[in-house]
């Protein structure tokens, strides 16, 4: 992005140590936002902050475990002190435990729900609390984007926990949008299709992964930049009339 469309905003992004979270952080920083990048791998966040500041942006890194309420609150407090009140949140942290349902240990199922659902809830809730305290009802500038998946809409065998968690995120986001509609906070949900990242690269290079890609209508994976336009819009003042939307960006993979 070349224009400073997010100047004056402070954004907090979870799961920013790799993949999409890292991309979102670079994007919003380039657009003029001060960016708080959060994840468990603080060393990788420090590298990202160095990259953003070297490019002229403003960023700070905070260790955060989204399953831990105290950790989430502490990261928001630190970001608020260092960067200013957070008015933009991207709840991106997530994980998956693969396995057919009959073989999936209960603890693995719970872990996916703890991170993908409870973690998103804690992040969004703390963000909303901070926005309300800072006067979002009058400013109308609160923006929260929850990252779900086409797994919220499409059956993905072997990913029962993941699909359940992402479907929960989609409906939770709409519920939060309704609850906070009069508080100047817009909550929207993005459901990306398959994008090759460091977490899934090995799979898509395998025979099974290549067969999966061949089954898509356009026989290709998405690129990280395919989400740029939607994320720039949803986190900006231009999306003032958009809340409670579930937006699928998947290059037709669910068709």
Catalytic residue numbers read: 162
> How many Cα atoms sit within 13 Å of 166 on the Cβ side?
26
Token duo for residue 165: 């968690």
- Of the candidates 20, 28, 4, the one whose C-alpha atom is nearest the C-alpha of residue 94 is 20
Burial track 135-146 (b if 16+ CB lie within 10 A, e otherwise): ebeeeebbbbbb
Whole-number Å distance between alpha carbons of 76 and 233: 23
Give the DSSP letter string of 115-145.
IIIIHHHHHHHHHHHHHHHTTHHHH--EEEE
Q: Is residue 255 classed exposed, middle or buried when 0-12, 13-18 and 19+ CB atoms within 10 A define those classes?
A: exposed
Token duo for residue 166: 């992402």
By the 8 A CB rule, do 144 and 127 touch?
Answer: yes
Whole-number Å distance between alpha carbons of 232 and 205: 30
By the 8 A CB rule, do 28 and 16 touch?
Answer: no
End-to-end CA distance of the chain, in Å?
30
């Amino acid at each position: 992005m070349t224009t400073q469309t997010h100047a004056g905003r402070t954004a907090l992004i979870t799961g920013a140590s790799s993949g999409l979270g890292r991309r979102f952080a670079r994007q919003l920083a380039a657009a003029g936002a001060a960016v708080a990048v959060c994840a468990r791998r603080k060393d990788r966040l420090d590298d990202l902050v160095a990259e953003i500041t070297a490019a002229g942006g403003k960023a700070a890194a905070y260790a955060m475990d989204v399953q831990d309420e105290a950790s989430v609150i502490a990261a928001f407090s630190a970001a608020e002190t260092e960067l200013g009140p957070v008015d933009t949140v991207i709840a991106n942290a997530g994980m998956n435990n693969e396995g057919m349902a009959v073989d999936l240990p209960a603890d693995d199922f719970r872990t996916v729900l703890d991170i993908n659902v409870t973690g998103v809830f804690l992040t969004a809730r703390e963000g909303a609390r901070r926005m309300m305290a800072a006067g979002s009802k009058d400013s109308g500038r609160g923006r929260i984007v929850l990252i779900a998946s086409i797994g919220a809409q499409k059956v993905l065998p072997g990913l029962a926990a993941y699909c359940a968690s992402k479907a929960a995120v989609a409906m939770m986001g709409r519920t939060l949008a309704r609850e906070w509609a009069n508080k100047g906070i817009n909550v929207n949900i993005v459901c990306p299709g398959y994008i090759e990242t460091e977490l899934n690269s090995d799979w898509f290079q395998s025979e099974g992964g290549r067969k999966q890609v061949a089954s898509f209508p356009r026989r290709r994976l998405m690129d990280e930049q395919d989400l740029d336009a939607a994320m720039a819009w949803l986190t900006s003042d231009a999306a003032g009339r958009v809340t409670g939307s579930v937006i699928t960006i998947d290059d037709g993979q669910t068709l």
